[in-house]
Each structure stands twice: as C-alpha cells, then as structure tokens.
Amino acid sequence: MTRRVIKVGTSLLRGSADRDTACVIADLAASLSQQRRRGDQVTLVTSGAVGLGCHALQLEKRPTEVVALQAAAAVGQGQLMGLYAEAFASHGVRVAQVLLTRGDLASRRRYQNACRTLEHLLGWGVIPIVNENDTLATDELRFGDNDTLSALVAVAIGAEELVLLTDVDRLYSGDPRSDATVEPIEEVRDLQELARLSSVASGGGRWGTGGMTTKLTAARIATSSGVRVRLADGRDPRVLEALVAGEKVGTVFQPSSRPLADRKGWMAHALLPKGDLVIDAGAQKALVERGASLLAVGIRAVEGRFGRQDAVRLVSLQGEEIGRGLCALSSEEVRQVLGLSSSEVQRELQQPAGAAVVHRDHLVLTALAAASD
C-alpha cells in the first residue's frame, strides 16, 4: 500500500476547448479510484473554487479585492465539490471536503486535529479532497498557493509520495517556453541540488513567476521530511497511471536521507514566525555544531512583536535564516534581557539564570537542511 497526495491546480482544472473542467475531473476520479481499488490511500489537493465561482457569476475578470475573492470562492466551492462527488460516485468511491487555512496548520493543536481527521477518513476508505479555505482566509493566513498546502498535507499524514500535476511535462534547467537550449531534468537527488534549481527559478522570468518556484518550494518542504515528490504533466489523462506503474515520466525529487521528525518538520514549514532574533556568530556556531539552545547572550537584536511561545526566526548577522522555533519570552522581554545581567533576568522576569530564550527541543535548523543531506 502506498499513501499518496495528488495536487491539481487551476490551470489544469480550467481544461481546454476539447476537454472541459468536468472532463478533467472525471479523468482524475477514474485514475484515483483505480489507485484506491489497488489498496493505495489517496488524498487530493485541489484548486478551482474561485475560478468556478467567477464563471458562475459571469465575471469578466478575476477580482483583486480579498472580499470579492472570498465571495467568489463561496459560490464556486460547492460547485467544485459537486463535480468531484458526482465523478467519484460513478466509481463507487466516497469523498470528503476538507478546507484549511494556514492558521489551521500553524497551530500545533489544530495541526494535530487535522492529521487525525485525515487519518480517520483514509481509514474509512474515503478520499479527502483538500482545498484552501478561500472563503475565510485573509492575506496573513493564506498559503499563497496549493503547492505549499499539498506539501504540508503530505508531511502531516506521512505520505510516501506527493504528485504535483502541472502544465509542463517535467522540470527544466530554465524556462522551455522562451529558451530552446534548456535541459530536461529527470531526477533531483538531494536538497542541495534542489536549492540550486530554486535559486535559478526565483531569479525572475516566466519560469520563475509562472508557478515553478512554488513547486520547487513544495518539493523542498516534502523531501526534507522524507516524502518523494513527482512533477508531471497533468494535461495527459494517462499520466497518473504511468506514474503508479513505475514509468519514468516527469521529474522525481528524491526524499532526504536524513528527514526531519514530525514536530521538527512542523516547526520548519508550518509555523508562522511573528518576529526575528538576530544572533551572533558564536550563537550560530553553538546551534549548528553543538545542537545547543539559544541563550540571551547570543542575541544581538529583536525584530517584530511577539508573545511568549510564539514562533520566531533565528537570523544571522548577515540576514540568513538559521532556524525557527518557539520563543520562551515575548519580544519586549527579550529586549529587556539584552541589557540585563543573569541575576537581573532572574529577578525581573522570573526566569532562571542562564535559561534558554529558544530551547533546543523547540527549535529546528532550516539553513542546514540542504547542506546536511
């Protein structure tokens, strides 16, 4: 049995002149239902609610205001689920709608609740259909794209594989639509290679802005937690069958040989940092080489406002993110600590002398994920 997450985006669901949205969904349902009959556990992450809502409302263009997008999603989400439910029902498969915001996964308690719900649905033989809750999500609580959502879902449920269906046949060394000299990439072997490709994609141009950047980010999130990622051409209705059969199609991103544990993966990718702690070279060395906690003596500056146990980034003096974690003190308390002796900290903040500002059990190093693979 393989546990697999499939992600399909708006560009594919929009269909084409000879293959409309209903046809695309019908093909997906047929393929995923066949996987389910084989004994595999499948979760589908889908976009499309806003697009269907805009079409139903006969809007000439996609709204730009958040409230208008939320309203369009409210109209389209029911239609989207209706299409999926009907398509899967024809194969005798039940589906369930799961709507998530970034805040649902940033909270450890809600993250665990979501994991348990998805696990229960899979145990019942139901295919969860996951989408971002566009009707409620505000800018600060949005994933920004369902590629990121699909990677976080794959990590949350311990999937062996994440399949990103897109509108290109595989990953290339550049944008194949504007550069005929680019090379196809069949396999990305580790996080270091992935980091190099991501730096090219984020450099701009159509390849970077057209969605490949977010797919590489999703690949980094998933592979660093031990999930194999496949990127393939979703315009081909047979592509999922080919992948399941082991055919070499698209691009495969191999999982890290040293994957993050569940809680560390959650801290690295699902948390929403509310501020930064700028640390000196000595503190950075202690964190990286000795697995130490972050003490007040190594902090040089505090950026942002946060409370106790809120998520923060640990940043070097050069601005590089070193890690993320849960801060034992508020931003104001950390600022106080920077000017106090150990005895004053103990007296003023009721903290033991030498207590960690971010304990090693509550932090994860993010800058070294690629280097250590």
Question: What's the pLDDT score for residue 206?
Answer: 41
Instruction: Please report, for the chain, the start and end positions of each structural domain, with discontinuous segments joined by +.
Output: 3-264, 273-365
Amino acid present at 43: T
Question: What's the pLDDT score for residue 201?
Answer: 59
Query: What CATH superfamily classification does 3-264 receive?
Result: Acetylglutamate kinase-like (3.40.1160.10)
Question: What's the pLDDT score for residue 210?
Answer: 43
Question: What's the pLDDT score for residue 8?
Answer: 94
Q: What is the CATH T-level fold of the domain 273-365, as seen in this structure?
A: 2.30.130
The rounded distance, in Å, linking the Cα atoms of 133 and 100 is 5
Question: What's the pLDDT score for residue 349?
Answer: 56
Question: What's the pLDDT score for residue 193?
Answer: 85
Taking alpha carbons only, the member of 183, 188, 305 closest to residue 251 is 188
pTM of the predicted model as reported, rounded to 2 decimal places? 0.87
What is the full per-residue pLDDT of the chain (373 aa) written as tens digits? 899 999 998 888 887 878 888 999 999 999 999 999 999 999 999 988 888 999 899 998 888 888 888 899 899 999 999 999 999 999 999 999 999 988 888 889 999 999 999 999 999 999 999 998 866 655 544 566 789 999 999 999 999 999 999 888 888 877 777 777 888 899 998 888 888 877 665 444 443 334 788 899 999 999 999 999 999 999 998 999 999 988 889 999 999 988 998 889 999 999 889 999 999 999 999 999 999 999 988 999 999 999 999 999 999 999 999 999 999 999 998 988 886 555 555 555 555 556 799 999 999 998 754 444 4
